Amino acid sequence: MNLLITGGSGLVGKAIDEIKNNYNYNFIFLSSSDGNLTKLDETEEIFKKYKPDYVIHLAAKVGGLFKNMNYKVEMLEENILINYNVLSMCYKYNVKKVISCLSTCIFPDKTNYPINEEMMHDGPPHNSNDAYAYAKRLLEIHSRMYQQQYNKNFICIIPTNIYGKYDNFDLSDGHVIPALIHQCYLAKQNNKKFIVKGTGKPLRQFIYSIDLAKLIIWTLENYNKNGNLILSVPEESEVSIKDVATIISEKFNYQKHMIFDTSYSDGQYKKTADNKKLMNQLKQFTFTDIHSGISTTIDWFCNNYKNVRGNI
């Protein structure tokens, strides 16, 4: 069975690659060198070549808070094109099941917490990432329309903030954990302050990339209901950005040099997700502790520094 993974060279794709030997699929990991998914003809050539039975759709134009705030047109247009092209080819080439990856940032800014799978369209997303959020919401709608009109098994997963090896550690475009790891590394190397942008007060749930990879394959093999599925650590595992920065600085033994620059925006204060729907079906799953996950990520980052994404 051919399992095609778009965005296969990214954080989650690399995590699936690490665990692939535990599963009986012919894994095909796509990267940008295989074709431009914003172009329909190139997307179709990929599907003609590989004839996938299943697709895990991870590819997206992504970035941290400041990229989302400053490049809204690109975030909206490129993601709409990618998602349309991939889903339309999945339908045309009769893919048996599609798992498309969303994000908790697409939920309404003003809502009750914890958020669950039914609350996605209850209000506008936070304006700091609204372009990306609306593109991802459209992916969910598009998948649902294929379910309703053609009875296709096109479903969406909604992971919380992901981190781990092979992340994008860019200082301006990376997500919070990889960007903070890189910032602290450079601060210690240059004997400077470890500056954390914002107040450190916002709360987040973080899922280790290997955990998410396992949950995605479980979803492919076991979850066949219409409706989205949140893939998240429990609500009680939520931590502040200050907590994360502290864990990172302690790993580098540099905690006394950490300061917060409150002139930067915090973005959305919280987006706590409810993982009860998942855990009701997968009661025995054990999530990686954030201290352990960050420690492993930092070790990998330091050992591979010259080759990591975002090493500028």
Return the active site residues: 132
Q: How far apart are alpha carbons 188 and 258 in whole angstroms?
A: 10
User: What number of other Cβ atoms are within 10 A of residue 185's Cβ?
Assistant: 19
Which of 45, 70, 55, 49 has the alpha carbon at shortest distance from 7? 55
Q: How far apart are alpha carbons 200 and 289 in whole angstroms?
A: 20
Token reading at 32: 């940008």
Q: How far apart are alpha carbons 97 and 153 in whole angstroms?
A: 5
Q: How far apart are alpha carbons 287 and 278 in whole angstroms?
A: 13
User: What number of other Cβ atoms are within 10 A of residue 284's Cβ?
Assistant: 5
